Amino acid sequence: MRIGSTRKTILRTAMTIAVVVGAVLAIFLSRTAGISYPRERLAFETDSAIWRGVFHVHTAASDGRGTIADVVAAARASGASWVVVADHNRVSEPRARIVDGVLLVFSPEVSAVDGHVTALGASRALTRPERRAKNALATIRSLGGTPVAAHPLGRRRPYVRLDDPLLGGMEIISADQEFRDALVSPFRLFPAALAFTVNQQHALMRLLRRPARTLARWDQLLAARPMPGFCSVDAHGLPSYTVMMSSLQMHAEVGHAPTADAAADAAALVNALAGGRSFCGIEAIAGAGGFRFVGIDDSGGAGTSRELRLERHPVLRVDLAYASLPRGARPTLFCNGVEARLTAGAAPRGWRYEYRPDRPGACRVEVSVDSDDGGAWPWILSNPIYIR
């Protein structure tokens, strides 16, 4: 009798737990399904000289799920005006194209000996012997490309020679790297996996963290030489292209409006990206287009040059030109990897912060906001301004 009674007690307890877990799960999924993105719709003035787009997308030409038409449709839906298509070891289209108003730049992701590297602007893909050679970066350069290290500190195929002088940039945020980091952390992965069933974009945001390890390595490299930073969706079609492109974008400071000439616009875009004239925005939080990071000095120049001379008394200026900001929005300036003190300044609109460097170095900006779990999300990451 006691054994039967114990079994009944265990069964009732298990059923109660199952009901409670089911109810909690139903509430979690119901609330998750109702979360919309971007989290905040902020008003700001757009600048036609700054082109918003997406870096590092794969199609069915390599290991992606979609066609060029799918990529273009997703770009239009997300407001991106350009896409760098980075199919593995091939260029499906040797020349840039404009399709339905979206500029497509075909730049292969090369499987080199030292890791994966996107050959930004290269005229063709590398052959197998060229990829396996130690001088793969030199070959990319000879093809008019800029080698950009993909998922440089990733758990799978990290780029092992970030100090190579021929390397022209590195991904400072990589969706691929973030996902693989989450795989070893069940407390990050499990809630995101549940959210993915009802809200793909929210699932991505559950995984989002400040890429502290990568940013610290970037600061080390910046101490030695310029190293443009890139933000990579590394999109393959799952999650959908639209979700990925609506989550993370780059703003290229080209300096003029698009001309509708595919070759000329591609050259201008590649030049801006390779020159570090860009910033990244987590657009799922809010549009990053109201952000500006410029340097001015006694010569009166602002924004166009990424280098300023210390003897000309430079001032670094961070503008958040919005009528309102996301909860907890705060800019942080890092010079030589160390946080520098920003002071509030007068702004024609929104918020302005300034810093007067007193030593040479590389200075960059991060803007963070409060996240849903009580922590912080990265919202905007700039490329550096160099003080010489």
The domain that holds 214 is classified in CATH as 3.20.20.140
Question: In this predicted model, what pLDDT tens digit does every residue of 152-176 receive, in sequence order?
Answer: 998 878 899 999 999 999 999 999 8
Asked if residue 18 is part of any domain, the answer here is no
Mean pLDDT of the chain: 92
Please write the tens of the pLDDT for every residue from 233-253. Answer: 999 999 999 999 999 999 999
Q: Can you tell me the mean pLDDT for 307-326?
A: 95
- Closest Cα to residue 307, out of 250, 268, 362? 362
| Residue 69 included in any domain | yes
Among residues 221, 252, 284, the one where a domain terminates is: 284
Average pLDDT (62-70) is 95
Last residue of a domain, one of 284, 312, 344: 284
Task: State yes or no: pLDDT of 32 exceeds 90.
Answer: no
Residue 131 has pLDDT above 50, yes or no: yes
Q: Specify which residues 338 forms β-bridges with.
A: 335
Asked whether residue 353 is domain-assigned, the answer is yes
Q: Which of 257, 284, 311 is the last residue of a domain?
A: 284
Distance of CA 330 to the CA centre of its chain: 18
Contact between residue 181 and residue 208 where contact means Cβ atoms under 8 Å apart: no
Q: What is the mean pLDDT of residues 327-341?
A: 97
- pLDDT at site 93: 67
**Whole-prediction pTM:** 0.92
At which residue do the structure tokens 């119901």 appear? 30
Q: How far apart are the C-alpha atoms of 14 and 25, rounded to whole Å?
A: 16
Q: What is the pLDDT of residues 210-221, one digit of tens each?
A: 999 999 999 999
Same domain, 206 and 276: yes
Quick check: is 17 in a domain? no
- Banded model confidence at residue 183, pLDDT cuts 50, 70, 90: confident
What pairs with residue 345 in β-bridges? 352
Same domain as 362, residue 230? no
Same domain, 208 and 262: yes
What's the pLDDT band for 26 if we cut at 50, 70, 90?
Answer: confident
pLDDT value for 151 = 94
**What pLDDT does 341 receive?**
95
Q: What are the phi and psi torsion angles at 367 (to 5°)?
A: -115, 125
Rounded CA-CA distance 157/206 in Å is: 24
Taking 70 as the threshold, does the pLDDT of residue 144 lie above it?
A: yes
Which residues are CB-contacts of 127 (< 8 A; sequence separation ≥ 6)?
none
In the chain, the number of structural domains is: 2
Residue 96 CA to residue 112 CA, distance in Å, equals 24
Whether 34 maps to a domain, the answer reads no
pLDDT in tens, 81-90: 999 999 999 8
Do both 103 and 128 map to the same domain?
yes
Query: Average pLDDT, stretch 298-307?
Result: 67
Q: Are residues 274 and 347 in the same domain?
A: no
55 and 93 in a single domain? The answer is yes
- pLDDT range class, residue 135, cuts 50, 70, 90: very high
- How far is 238 from 57, CA to CA, in rounded Å? 12
Q: In what order do the strands lie in the sheet with 351-355?
A: 291-296, 315-320, 351-355, 343-345
Same domain, 236 and 316: no
Same domain, 190 and 87: yes
CATH code of the domain containing 304:
2.60.40
SS3 347: coil
User: Residue 158's pLDDT is what?
Assistant: 87
Most confident option among 92-106, 112-126, 169-183: 112-126
311: containing domain: 289-388
Contact 251, 92 (CB under 8 A): no
326 assigned to some structural domain: yes
| Residue 304 pLDDT | 47
In a domain, 29, yes or no: no
Domain co-membership, 50 together with 106: yes
Higher pLDDT, 19 or 21: 19
For residue 21, pLDDT beyond 80: no
The answer, yes or no, to whether residue 377 has pLDDT greater than 80, is: yes
Claim to verify: residue 144 and residue 263 sit in the same structural domain: yes
The predicted model gives 33-57 an average pLDDT of 94
Q: How far apart are CA 263 and CA 275, in angstroms?
A: 18
- Within-domain flag for 15: no
Same domain, 76 and 171: yes
Distance CA 353, CA 317 (A): 6
Claim to verify: residue 279 and residue 310 sit in the same structural domain: no
